[in-house]
């Protein structure tokens, strides 16, 4: 997979994706949408009720979701018993009022990527992103990479070892996707900085 972003000027970017690359990226984003879900109390058609809806107060049990929706307070490296009750309560309170909005933003980022890829008509082609869309894409790519990193149990110091996995390792396809997403993310950052 060689499709990487290039600058299209003015903070916009373009990428040439073949059919396989577009299909893989779309599939990953659809899976992200399923993982994120609407969230507790987040599936309401009443805009006023949605405005005042409260989210969950506890961190998600799924480690990937916990990485996407981390606690705002406390040290994730310390066990819960090392934190004060006040810190835990502040984290619960913050989550209650922010997680639904964060879920909605992450869903919109992923949907923007899916819609753009759908615009290619199921085939490869050149995809041009406006400057505002680039930021949504960065968010969506970051969410995918974080999720895959958790699923693969990637630690920063172990990342180099991912390149050396044998082809027979069952994690190899996910590792390839993880590394490709990192290259996409880096190339998009470089493209919008030009």
At 9, phi and psi to the nearest 5?
85, 150
Q: Is the pLDDT of residue 123 over 80?
A: yes
pLDDT at position 45, please? 66
Q: Which residue has the higher pLDDT, 95 or 183?
A: 183
pLDDT at position 79, please? 55
Contacting residues for 90 by C-beta, under 8 A, at least 6 apart? 72, 73
Exposed, middle or buried: residue 144 (CB in 10 Å: 0-12, 13-18, 19+)? buried
pLDDT at position 77, please? 59
Q: What average pLDDT does this structure show over 24-41?
A: 88
Task: Give the lowest-confidence range in 31-40, 78-87, 108-117, 181-190.
Answer: 78-87
pLDDT tens track for 138-162: 999 999 999 999 999 988 767 778 8
Report yes or no: 149 and 66 within 8 Å, Cβ to Cβ: no
pLDDT tens track for 64-117: 999 999 888 876 556 555 568 788 888 888 888 888 889 999 999 999 999 999
pLDDT at position 55, please? 74
């Amino acid at each position: 997979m060689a499709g990487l972003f290039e600058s299209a000027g003015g903070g916009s970017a373009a990428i040439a994706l073949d059919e396989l690359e577009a299909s893989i990226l779309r599939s990953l984003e659809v899976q992200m949408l399923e993982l994120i879900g609407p969230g507790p109390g987040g599936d309401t058609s009443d805009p006023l009720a949605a405005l005042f809806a409260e989210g969950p107060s506890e961190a998600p049990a799924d480690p990937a979701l916990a990485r996407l929706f981390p606690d705002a307070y406390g040290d994730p490296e310390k066990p819960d018993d090392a934190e004060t009750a006040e810190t835990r309560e502040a984290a619960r309170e913050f989550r209650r009022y922010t997680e639904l909005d964060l879920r909605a933003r992450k869903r919109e980022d992923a949907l923007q990527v899916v819609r753009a890829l759908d615009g290619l008509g199921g085939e490869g082609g050149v995809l041009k992103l406006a400057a505002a869309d680039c930021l949504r894409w960065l968010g969506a790519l970051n969410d995918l990479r974080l999720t895959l990193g958790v699923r693969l149990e990637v630690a920063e110091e172990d990342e180099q070892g991912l390149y050396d996995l044998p082809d027979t390792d069952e994690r190899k396809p996910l590792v390839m996707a993880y590394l490709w997403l990192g290259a996409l993310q880096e190339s998009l950052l470089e493209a919008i900085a030009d």
